[in-house]
Amino acid sequence: MSSDDDAAIRVVNLTKTYRSGDADLTVFSRLNFEVARGEKLALVGESGAGKSTLMHLLGGLDRPTEGAIYFGQNDICTLSAADLAAFRNREVGFVWQIQSLLAEFTALENVMMPLLIRGQARETAEPLAMARLNEVGLRSRASHRAGELSGGEQQRVALARALVGDPGILLADEPTGNLDFRTGEMIMGLLEDLHTARRLTSVHVTHNLNFARRADRALALERGQLVPVDFAESAMWESPHV
């Protein structure tokens, strides 16, 4: 098997420059890395290093200035807007740091949303969404509005929503960032369990080096470069509470 076959994601010469006014900001340039099928990759780095920028590109939420992102044989950077939207809906599940659920909709409706967007009927979407809620231990909260749930419960619903459409890839950008220590531990444990049970390929951003250590591999974004994490050196920006 070639290395291409083993890679779920292959990033080639990826550059992102934000143009705001007359000042350009190159967040990173010519990044190259792969994420192996089934790998759990942690991404760390100081605030402003470009982690979210990279996650948005990996998830097809934004386009690079230059470079390619291969999922299997397909470079998502060449897709039309419609094809990219379909790719996002089918291939990738997202969990973000900030509250991303629709507050006025119930937990169940939030989880069903990716299926409804792809045109699935409510009758078939509902039991699938209920099964995912069950998996994150929130079956009993199905009819609660998302805005009524605690932060930890909202992140569990967000995980259920991310996985309802059976994506191969899970992208999580500081999924525990707004949670207290114990709740953060619980969400990360759940993410790890789902990664294994659903045979996902996962990339998660974290400021918590304990979580990063538990991943299969940890990379740090530093001054526009991706480098393997040196856990001894990085202890200075470790915070147990995020």
- Interface residues with Mg ion (CB under 5 A) are 52
- Closer residue to ligand ATP in complex, CB, 130/203: 203
Considering the complex, what minimum distance in angstroms separates the CB of residue 52 from Mg ion?
A: 3
Select from ligand ATP, Mg ion, none the partner in contact with residue 155, using the beta carbon and a kind-dependent cut-off of 5 to 8 Å. Answer: none
Q: Are 45 and 222 in contact (CB under 8 A)?
A: yes
Considering the complex, what minimum distance in angstroms separates the CB of residue 28 from ligand ATP?
A: 9
Q: Are 191 and 223 in contact (CB under 8 A)?
A: no
Considering the complex, what minimum distance in angstroms separates the CB of residue 240 from Mg ion?
A: 19
Considering the complex, what minimum distance in angstroms separates the CB of residue 25 from Mg ion?
A: 15
- Closer residue to ligand ATP in complex, CB, 154/206: 206
- Closer residue to ligand ATP in complex, CB, 54/113: 54
Which candidate, 14, 21, 6, places its Cα nearest to that of 226? 14
Select from ligand ATP, Mg ion, none the partner in contact with residue 85, using the beta carbon and a kind-dependent cut-off of 5 to 8 Å. Answer: none
Q: Where are the beta strands (DSSP E) in the chain?
A: 7-20, 23-36, 40-44, 66-71, 74-75, 92-96, 169-173, 201-205, 217-222, 225-228
Considering the complex, what minimum distance in angstroms separates the CB of residue 193 from ligand ATP?
A: 25
Select from Mg ion, ligand ATP, none the partner in contact with residue 49, using the beta carbon and a kind-dependent cut-off of 5 to 8 Å. Answer: ligand ATP
- Residues paired with 178 in a beta bridge: none
DSSP state at residue 195: H
* SS3 assignment, position 16: strand
**Site residues for ligand ATP per CB under 6 A:** 18, 20, 25, 27, 45, 47-53
Select from ligand ATP, Mg ion, none the partner in contact with residue 47, using the beta carbon and a kind-dependent cut-off of 5 to 8 Å. Answer: ligand ATP
* SS3 assignment, position 234: helix
Q: How far apart are CA 100 and CA 59, in angstroms?
A: 15
How many residues make up the chain in this entry? 242
- Closer residue to ligand ATP in complex, CB, 16/40: 16
- Closer residue to Mg ion in complex, CB, 52/176: 52
Which candidate, 40, 42, 38, 37, places its Cα nearest to that of 7? 37
- Closer residue to Mg ion in complex, CB, 52/206: 52
Apex CA 94: angle with CA 31 and CA 212, to 5°? 60
Select from ligand ATP, Mg ion, none the partner in contact with residue 27, using the beta carbon and a kind-dependent cut-off of 5 to 8 Å. Answer: ligand ATP
Tokens of 207: 């400021």
